Amino acid sequence: MSAFVHKTIGELIKETATRYPKNIALISPEFRIRQTYREFYQTCRDVAKGLMAMGIKRGDNVAVWTTNIPEWLYLQYALGMTGGVLVSVNTNYQTHELEYILKQSDSTTLFLMESYREINFYDTVGKVLPDLDNHTTGNPVSEKLPSLINVIYIGKRETTPGMLRFDDLIISGKDITDEQLDERISSLDDDDVINMQYTSGTTGFPKGVMLTHHNIVNNARMVGDVMGMTEKDSLLIQVPFFHCFGCVMSTLNCVYHGSTMVILEFFDPLKALQTIAAEKCTAVNGVPTMFIAILNYLEFDHYNMSSLRTGIMAGAPCPEETMNQVRTKMHCPEIVIAFGQTESSPVMTMTRRDDPVELRVSTVGRLLPDIEGKIIDPETGADVPANVQGEIVTRSACVMKGYYHAPEATAAAIDSDGWLHTGDLGEVDEKGYFKVTGRIKDMIIRGGENIYPKEIEEFLYRHPKVANVQVVGIPDKKYGELVLAAIQLKNGEKATPEEFTEYCKGKIARHKIPKYWEFVDGYPMTASGKIQKFKMKEVFEKKYKA
């Protein structure tokens, strides 16, 4: 019998708050917030009423562009109660990417914060929406974005022309009764889309992955069960909320199991050490580069890590030495590896807490309960025997509903039998342990961030000096891979790497800007005229040997 549960996010948070009202739900040291589940649930209800007062209906797409601040979490669960779809926006995005996402997603509403590192969100939104200052409530903000009606600012700025303020949103919700909100919650279905994550595609443009309550609640349940999460656990969440790693494997995982969410606005090794020690966290999630930065922090030994028990390392292969140090120096004997992709909500396989270390570094574990997976021949689609390389495919109730407004891309990803084709190459052994051995797609994974060369190539083609451009990933010890752009300039043109780096700044996310720039006369080709990227990679890998 299937163990899948049928709950909406609104029902889940109510259930947890009823069961563990006095348990601490949320700790945000940077914002001095510490809330019990009863208090957290009430705040989420207050935000949900504000959303209803503003006119958010079931199925409306709502973009959220902030770091890991408490308001992101309140919106995650408030939208879960009202049926609004949370469109998560990468905090590294710049004007070009923000405008595309708002338009493609048909977002009716955008929530934004002031700034993050060198990116000023407020100013960026002003560039994308030049008429915002004159915006009147209830009307489209821009001719370019006809669906966008509301822009809500989270922060301390005193005047925000054309924008509503988050605090005012909550005040306006006082006109909505508890009965009206409860009626909305009970009207929702767990098969409704509730979360839209944008993942770059081989077409060069990000696609909106439509995930339902059912998809992500069940994935969070299974992930936490493998970690052994209970109401006694507290998880340090330093991975971005805008990824499934943050909002499914971390926040939703905690709420499902009654655990405490201990959040950092963004990753910082010192803050991670301080927070684990001060809050006695029992679990920590991160990509390998985060764990490496924590372990190598100069004053690592000054902080007590003995409260830790488990955590998830995902997003990139884990070096054996790092795994051993996390287990011993960080006191995390039950650390596990997870593998999947956004389209599968996201986790498909995990190692188990009692797996030997060699399996935790050489494989990505076994399938989660109720999740099917196998290896097929990418050419014929036939199943292949154990220990033979092929494409990893998966099928379950965690597979996405599809890509937003992209039926052809959906049909290409999910076949007629319901199998999601991951585009990852791998093999599985006789005991059911999967290994990832490569990629059919040209995707680059830099420090846990998926980067699709086609997207960067299409952006660089706009530069007036570019005749042709090819982007590949180059191995790197710290980040796993770094981006290299090989540019063929138009006749008579000259250029420098600095010029191109400058061209990218403020337009595409920092992690997508190539680290290496090569100016070439041509590319290795097949007899039929196709560019051979693997040959380019071989040449440049030797040059930039990690």
The CATH number for 522's domain is 3.30.300.30
Structure tokens at 510: 């920092």
Query: Do residues 42 and 222 touch, judged by C-beta distance below 8 A?
Result: no
Instruction: Give the integer Cα–Cα distance in Å for 435 and 426.
Output: 5
Q: What is the pLDDT of residue 204?
A: 56
Instruction: Give the integer Cα–Cα distance in Å for 509 and 483.
Output: 12
- Do 188 and 62 lie in one domain? The reply is yes
Q: Residue 348: inside a domain, yes or no? A: no
Sheet-wide strand order for 402-403: 164-165, 150-154, 109-113, 61-65, 85-88, 193-199, 207-212, 402-403
Q: What is the CATH number of the domain that holds 35?
A: 3.40.50.12780
pTM of the model: 0.86
Q: Residue 439: inside a domain, yes or no? A: no
Q: What is the pLDDT of residue 509?
A: 93
Query: Do residues 530 and 470 touch, judged by C-beta distance below 8 A?
Result: no
Q: What is the pLDDT of residue 196?
A: 98
Q: Residue 416: inside a domain, yes or no? A: no
Residue linked to tokens 């940077």? 30
SS3 5: coil
Q: Residue 109: inside a domain, yes or no? A: yes
- Low-confidence spans in the chain with pLDDT less than 50: 1, 201-203, 528
Give the tens place of pLDDT for each residue, 271-312.
999 999 999 999 999 988 899 889 989 999 999 999 999 999
Mind spelling out the 3-state secondary structure of 306-349? CCCCEEEECCCCCCHHHHHHHHHCCCCCEEEEEEECHHHCCEEE
Q: Residue 245: inside a domain, yes or no? A: yes
Query: Do residues 334 and 227 touch, judged by C-beta distance below 8 A?
Result: yes
Domain that holds residue 452: 444-543
Q: What is the pLDDT of residue 82?
A: 98
Q: What is the pLDDT of residue 201?
A: 46
Q: What is the pLDDT of residue 1?
A: 42
Which of 328, 345, 380 terminates a domain? The answer is 328
Which of 281, 307, 328 terminates a domain? The answer is 328
Q: Residue 383: inside a domain, yes or no? A: no
Q: Residue 163: inside a domain, yes or no? A: yes
Q: Residue 113: inside a domain, yes or no? A: yes
Instruction: Give the integer Cα–Cα distance in Å for 453 and 512.
Output: 9
Instruction: Give the integer Cα–Cα distance in Å for 71 and 44.
Output: 9
Structurally, the chain folds into a number of domains equal to: 2
Instruction: Give the integer Cα–Cα distance in Å for 254 and 220.
Output: 8
Instruction: Give the integer Cα–Cα distance in Å for 215 and 416.
Output: 19
Angle, nearest 10°, between helix axes 269-279 and 288-295?
80
Which of 282, 310, 328 terminates a domain? The answer is 328
Q: What is the pLDDT of residue 92?
A: 87
- Do 322 and 453 lie in one domain? The reply is no
Q: What is the pLDDT of residue 45?
A: 98
Q: For residue 449, count CB atoms less than 10 angstroms from its CB and return exposed for 0-12, middle for 13-18, buried for 19 or more.
A: buried
Question: 485: which strand partners?
Answer: 471, 517
Q: How many CA atoms lie within 13 A of 258 on its CB side?
A: 13
